[in-house]
Structure 1
């Protein structure tokens, strides 16, 4: 229950902040262009709080925190007094109206730059992107990828695993990618080309790196029990903290992953488990519970987690910059996120990425809660990512979104006259249908992952 409330609170804070930023972009540029803003609302539904400023704008906090809007005086829908004609949105030039519409997504991109700048000013602890090992018969193994540091992806320099991941995601649907490998970031490095024609990446099952056969340098799980979930199969079997796992179902365990594989492959089956407890062998019987995967398969679940051997300090770095460089890094990172977001939309349309990977409000809430748990740096990174996604989604050419309005204005600019009301109304209906369909798919995906 606490996790649910924490995720919900984090979601409301994150979404409320990003919606406010987006709508303030519209509001600020509308004011600068002499347009009367009648209402600035954060949320929908019943008004919880409201006040008016000296310009006559009503500011509202509403009960349903799932969006917001800025209502401007518009002669197409409002009665406009002659003396107020020049305050209406529709009385402005096409470039002015385009600026007002584009200001919302632009504000989201600027906020992402600010969040990332702040993150880099504080300092970001991260792992150097060093490949610890390569999985046999994998894409990386076939390319003879060395156990070195990745310093560039397709010629674009990287400093940490997150940067590598973002650039690798852009390669989905392409035939190859070139990684520059070196002993350290100061070495010139050598290029290794990975053949991606057989690359199958499913984020529900594996990481980007795992799907390519790369194992990053990371904290190593040991075969010692670090925690046992209450009321789990592990607790029912009598597993205790500090037990050392030795033999499971007749197989001598060499690492934690081998134990997980056996458990997942044997849901509901009683297995013999030999552990070492206080220096003495103890034999237990464990029966993994069965849980349903997003693909509809049943796999075993034990409810135990390992102790972890910390990462060698030589692989840990603190990425931190001064004010000017932090701004530049924020701009670069935001551009990378914008580029990736548009790339993912294209891959979705082309079928390179499945719609089953779309995420909705539940996944965003979980991400907000998890990032807030990890601290300010992680939460800032999450806010930047969601802010960019919000800006990109709003720029899609669906008539119900900012991008659709911009599309109509571009047509008006070319033709010299507005798109007919009938055509706009039809477009809005189509846009609403497509958007609701995508939201429905994303929500169903979220529910299937619970």
Structure 2
């Protein structure tokens, strides 16, 4: 229940912030252009709270928190007092109407930059893009354990988040990518990951798992969580011991333990198991025992150890100073805009399924809750991406959206007169159908991705 409540709460907070900034953009520019604003509402339906300012504008918070609106004086929507006619929206010059309409999306883009700036100043905790294990395509490219990936293509990769996004974009396009790598020896080399060899038909969400690249933080540390009774390590090794070497071979993660124990068992005899216990380095002679693995039900050589569970602590922080964070925020918005445009292009071309492109309120709510749990910087990043998405979506030339109104006004500029009421009504009908279809797809994706799978 706590996860449900948290998801609903962070969804409402996110929508509240985004809608307020979007509608404030319309409101602020409308007032500067001399248009009378009748109501500024966050949410739809019956107002739960409302107050009126000295200019006669009603500020309201409504019962249905899934959007908002700014209602302006307009002769097309009702009778207007002749004394106020000059303040009506429809009486304004087309350039003023364009400015008022575009102000909402621009407010979202400004908010996006501000949120990215704040995220960079606070610092987003993350993991270093260090290679933990390679197989398949990653091994064929020459990547090795301990390599630090500095850049993928032209994109710098200070953390695994940036590296993952760059890899996913290339994997979706089945494009080979050059990776600039710092090796264990301190030298910098360029490796080419042949993502063009990825097989067809893989679910987009599983693509990165097929690159053969496993990050260091994804591997369990070689810390003992439990010693099984009546096994070789019982009474010798202890919980919280960190295994550092087996028979002289270094152990860097729990994934190294089973292969080294198996090799030791096949060789026969005992060998030294080295562990870190507190501040002490200790060594114990142990001989593996062959038995059945309770998870796989297969025979294997074992010492009787289980790993300690738990998530590894972040070992990298994406942070800039207040001044350096300004250009970094603009660069991030530009990069994310390119990524979104590419995703839309892939969806239209069929290279990306729409079920992984359009997200609904359930997905957004869960993402908001998860990012909030990770910390302020992660939540700010998600909010910035939502603000960017809202700004771009509203600029699409679909009637009902801001972009649709802009299209009408651009046509008016070309032809010298407003678009007819009949054309606008037909456009509104088409736009409403498109929006309802998009919302239906979003809810369908939510049900399939979050409730069925």
Q: In the alignment, what sits opposite 2:148?
A: 149
In structure 2, distance between residues paired with 1:123 and 1:100:
35
In structure 1, distance between residues paired with 2:369 and 2:188:
41
Shift of 1:442: 1.6
Contact kept, 8 Å, 2:168 with 2:208, in 1: the verdict is no
In structure 2, distance between residues paired with 1:428 and 1:66:
20
In structure 1, distance between residues paired with 2:143 and 2:100:
50
The within-5 A match list for 1:14-413 is: 14-136=14-136, 138=137, 140-147=138-145, 148-171=147-170, 172-173=172-173, 175-183=175-183, 189-190=189-190, 192=192, 194-196=194-196, 198=198, 202-204=203-205, 206=206, 209-221=208-220, 307-308=309-310, 310=312, 316-357=315-356, 358-413=358-413
Shift of 1:55: 1.3
In structure 2, distance between residues paired with 1:112 and 1:408:
27
**Secondary structure at the residue paired with 2:372?**
helix
RMSD: 3.4
Contact kept, 8 Å, 1:42 with 1:68, in 2: the verdict is yes
**Secondary structure at the residue paired with 1:25?**
helix
Q: In the alignment, what sits opposite 2:235?
A: none
Contact kept, 8 Å, 1:105 with 1:394, in 2: the verdict is yes
Shift of 1:440: 1.1
Structure 1 alignment gaps of length 5 or more: 228-241, 243-253, 259-279, 288-304
Shift of 1:91: 1.9
Q: In the alignment, what sits opposite 2:447?
A: 447
Contact kept, 8 Å, 2:360 with 2:446, in 1: the verdict is yes
Q: Classify 1:306/1:68 alpha carbon distance in 2 versus 1 (closer, same or farther; 3 Å).
A: farther
Q: Classify 1:421/1:225 alpha carbon distance in 2 versus 1 (closer, same or farther; 3 Å).
A: farther
In structure 2, distance between residues paired with 1:98 and 1:34:
14
Shift of 1:443: 1.0
In structure 2, distance between residues paired with 1:118 and 1:447:
34
Is 1:415 equivalent to 2:415 in the alignment?
Answer: yes
Q: Classify 1:61/1:145 alpha carbon distance in 2 versus 1 (closer, same or farther; 3 Å).
A: same
Shift of 1:319: 2.6
In structure 1, distance between residues paired with 2:324 and 2:167:
25
In structure 2, distance between residues paired with 1:197 and 1:428:
46
Give 1 or 2 for the bigger CA radius of gyration: 2
Q: TM-score, normalised by structure 1?
A: 0.76
In structure 1, distance between residues paired with 2:71 and 2:330:
31
**Secondary structure at the residue paired with 1:384?**
helix
Residues 355-398 of structure 1, C-alpha deviations (whole Å, 9 max, x = no match):
12122000111111111222212211111111111112112221
Shift of 1:65: 0.5
Residues 6-60 of structure 1, C-alpha deviations (whole Å, 9 max, x = no match):
1111111111111111111111111111111111000011110001111111111
Q: Classify 1:178/1:98 alpha carbon distance in 2 versus 1 (closer, same or farther; 3 Å).
A: farther
Moved over 6 A (4+): 222-227, 280-287
Q: TM-score, normalised by structure 2?
A: 0.76
In structure 1, distance between residues paired with 2:11 and 2:392:
19
Contact kept, 8 Å, 1:38 with 1:56, in 2: the verdict is yes
Shift of 1:222: 6.4
Q: Classify 1:286/1:413 alpha carbon distance in 2 versus 1 (closer, same or farther; 3 Å).
A: same
In structure 1, distance between residues paired with 2:379 and 2:208:
23
In structure 2, distance between residues paired with 1:38 and 1:142:
65
Q: Give aligned pairs, total.
A: 383
Contact kept, 8 Å, 2:174 with 2:198, in 1: the verdict is no
Q: Classify 1:409/1:165 alpha carbon distance in 2 versus 1 (closer, same or farther; 3 Å).
A: farther
